[in-house]
Amino acid sequence: MTNEAIEAAALLPCPFCGEEYAEMSHYTTASSPKEPAGYYVECGYCSAAGPPFEVQGEMPDRHEYTKTEAIAAWNTRAAAPALLEEGARLALEAAKGAAYNAYLKLSVSKVIWDAMAALDPAAIVKGAGHDRD
Ligand SMILES: [Zn+2]
């Protein structure tokens, strides 16, 4: 994957600062001083980094494959706050719904209570539970 392709790939915004520009970075090791030994995605603003992935195996496309892993990890990381936000929104909605239902039940109960209170309590008790025809 070329750098242009990586930029074109849907890299989600930084989960820490929200910056939309993130880039592919690499690291080298003593045993691999010239060729990248691994890759990770890094925020172009705050330098927050996704988890590094070590280049492994002998496949010709092993570098591209490793970059793909780094991108997937970055996007998984960046997706979490959005999911949490969505979860919080749904929880709030559910709570609002529950509160509204409770309010409705309370209102309905009060209407029924008031209607019953307006009747003769003795008649209600007498009539309850069985039909007399
Ligand atoms: Zn950032």
Residue type, 103: Y
Span from the CA of 59 to the centroid of ligand 1 (angstroms):
32
Distance from residue 99's CA to the centre of ligand 1 (Å) = 38
* pTM of the model as a whole: 0.54
Q: What is the pLDDT along the chain (133 residues), one digit of tens a residue?
A: 555 555 546 898 998 899 999 999 999 999 889 999 999 999 999 999 999 999 999 999 999 999 999 999 999 864 566 777 888 888 888 888 888 887 777 777 777 777 767 776 565 555 555 555 5
* Distance in Å, CA 76 to ligand 1 centroid: 15
* Tokens standing for residue 81: 């706050």
Q: CA triplet 121, 122, 126: central angle to 5 degrees?
A: 120
Cα(52) to centroid(ligand 1), Å: 16
Query: 117 vs 35, 114, 123, 128, CA distance in Å?
Result: 86, 5, 11, 15
Residue ranges per domain, the chain?
Answer: 3-87
- Residue 129 falls in which region: left (phi positive, over 0), alpha (psi -120 to 50) or beta: left
